[in-house]
Structure 1
Amino acid sequence: MTPPPRHPWVRAYVLSGGRTGTQWRMLMHTLISGTGRLPAAAAGPQPEAQALYLRVSAGPQTVAELSAACGVPLGLTRVLLGDLAGRGLVTVHADLDPFNPLILERLLDGLRAL
């Protein structure tokens, strides 16, 4: 999936309405999955939010993976995912121990793929 087209002069704070945080605790390795309850058009008018929703609907991914795959800055990704979670479109899973061997293996696999 290619990142949504964005005008180079539009700053992230414009797309987030000036918000920098959410009520959801989201670290880079927080796993996000789609609820599958609503169609992609319900994700909102922002192409960035729609791209995140479509990406996470295909399967669970981390906040960092979603940010990189959709070409959206990490802070904006957190805000948009928080909006989607608040509307029941995505599920924010509880954080795992960052030193969990499975997470570290996944990180190494991702680095090797670069």
Structure 2
Amino acid sequence: MSRPGRDDAPDRLYTVTGGRSRSAPDSPFDLVTLVVAESAPVPGMQSEHAAILRLAERPTAVVEIAAELRLPVGITRILLTDLLDQGRVSARHPRKPTSSGFPAPDILEQVLVGLRNL
């Protein structure tokens, strides 16, 4: 049995991303990357892109944007990469990664707490 209103989800996600299923391997966006809008939405812009620009008027984490849009993080990263390529958003990390290349444990704990609160 399928959930109501979810039957068209794969088709919608395919359309939203123009058929792309993964962001670039060198994407600057991870869960805690802060995104800041560099411009306002313009008429004719894809609705998801416009929503991201409105959400990112103040620094907002990728995971928060995904939750607000009710989209998977992977799809959100693709949309953010589009906006970054257009110069409409900037990305910055709240802290530099540790020498291991992974975020600090306290950052991961904050993300986990935030996800639990959703």
- Please confirm whether the aligned pair reaches a TM-score higher than 0.5, indicating the same fold: yes
Question: Scaled by the length of structure 1, what TM-score is found?
Answer: 0.72
Q: Which residue of 1 aligns with 2:62?
A: 63
Report 1:14-53 matches (<5 A). 14-19=15-20, 20-22=22-24, 24-35=27-38, 38-41=39-42, 45-53=45-53
Larger relative contact order, structure 1 or 2 (CA cutoff 8 Å, min sep 6): 1
Q: Which runs of 4+ in 1 moved over 3 A?
A: 104-109, 111-114
Unaligned runs of 5+ in 1: 1-5
Distance (whole Å) between structure 2 residues aligned to residue 82 and residue 100 of structure 1? 26
2:100 alignment counterpart: none
Taking only the aligned residue pairs, the percentage that are identical comes to 33
Deviation string 1:10-39 (CA, Å, 9 cap, x unpaired) is 33122111122135321111111122xx33
CA distance in structure 2 between the partners assigned to 1:62 and 1:11 by the alignment = 23
Does the alignment pair 1:76 with 2:75? yes
Provide the rounded CA distance (Å) in 1 between the counterparts of 2:83 and 2:115.
28
Partner of 2:104: 99
Unpaired segments ≥5 residues, structure 2 = 98-102
Deviations 1:38-81 (A, max 9, x none): 33116x53211111110001x11111111001212211110111
Distance (whole Å) between structure 2 residues aligned to residue 78 and residue 13 of structure 1: 14
| Aligned pairs, number | 104
What letter corresponds to residue 75 of structure 2 in structure 1?
A: L
Mapped contact 1:21–1:78 kept (Cα < 8 A): yes
Distance 1:112-1:28 versus aligned 2 partners, 3 A rule: closer
Larger Rg: 2
